[in-house]
Amino acid sequence: MRQLFALLFSFFVITNPSYGQEIFGKAKNNFRNFAGKTTMVVANSTDFTDLSIMDAVKTGWKISPFEICTLSEFEKLKTDTSYYFLMRVDGKFKKEGEAKIEYLTLVKGGPESKKGISKMYEIATLPLQAIGDESGEAFFFIPAYIDIIQSHVINVGSEILKAYVGNSFYSNRIDNAGDKKIIFDKEDLGFELDPAEADTLFRKKVTIGDESTVEKAILESTAETLVGFTISPKGNSSGSYSYKLIIDAETHDLLFFRRHKISDRLPKGFTKEDIKRVSIPFRK
């Protein structure tokens, strides 16, 4: 049921940046009346990922009325500017031969939707999981994603500069996190990190565990704890992108976002540069 979405814009950048400040001004006005619009959650009630999204919305969506709709209903409603749509899409960049990552995106209804989802007014897009990934790992992070998207709508509505700077805003919020502890799944590291070096970098406030260690922190909303995780394509993925995120396990604040193109030199996962950057506030 997922749609194909040609990702031609940066993470969290609003519409086409070539339009400049005028469009961002319009975005601010649109976000300010977001609460008066209905958000339609496009979902398949027999799909486990969609069921997880539906559950997270039902318990955590606070900023507007919402309804659940099918893909066929979306096709009928997508030109209506009274609606926003939260849905899963398969995304690929211009130079990728095929879509390899699935995203959770929030878009605004309007007449441009007749030309495809990639032409719709994009509010936020988060990498969700590799296409074909049936592990269910993404399920643990979906409630956090719902909170991140809502926070973004609120932030941009109150300060349009945050829309203008795009994902750089979310790359620098880690600077205030040095008094907390941080957890990584060792499988999400793209290199061998020596435990002694990790302790030095993070002043012994880091845990290099496994997938269950990260999931437990998220499920229990562990206080004063950050978790790092990655979303990367399956199989041979050279030339595609690996996404690296760090969120607060308790508040679901997005504190760090980066992506890099996968290559022999830079495999999937957090790079040495990422870890050095993230560890800076822990050494202050």
Of 3-17, 53-67, 88-102, 142-156, which range is least confident?
Answer: 3-17
How does the average pLDDT of the chain come out, rounded?
84
Q: Which residue has the tokens 């996404």?
A: 243
In a 10 Å sphere around its CB, with 0-12 CB exposed, 13-18 middle and 19+ buried, how is residue 196 labelled? exposed
Q: What does the pLDDT average to over 154-158?
A: 71
When pLDDT is averaged across residues 163-187 and rounded to a whole number, the result is 76
Interval 208-243: pLDDT, tens: 999 999 999 999 999 999 999 999 999 878 889 999
Alpha-carbon torsion (152, 153, 154, 156), positive or negative: positive
155: tokens are 């932030």
Answer whether 41's CB lies under 8 Å from 67's CB.
Answer: yes
d(CA 127, CA 231): 7
Does 1 score more than 50 pLDDT?
no
Strand runs labelled E in 7-45: 38-42
Q: What is the pLDDT of residue 130?
A: 93
* Percent of the chain residues topping a pLDDT of 90: 62
pTM: 0.86
CB 14 within 8 A of CB 124: no
d(CA 180, CA 126): 24
Question: Model confidence at 279, in pLDDT bands (50, 70, 90)?
Answer: very high
Please give the pLDDT value at position 172.
Answer: 66
Residue with tokens 């296409």: 131
Per-residue pLDDT at 171 exceeds 70: no
Question: 139 by DSSP, 3-state: which?
Answer: helix
pLDDT the model gives residue 34: 85
pLDDT at 76 over 70: yes
Measured from the Cβ of residue 115, the count of other Cβ atoms closer than 10 Å reads 9
The pLDDT score that the predictor gives to residue 11 is: 36
What's the mean pLDDT in 159-181? 65
Q: How far apart are CA 139 and CA 128, in angstroms?
A: 9
What pLDDT is attached to residue 15? 32
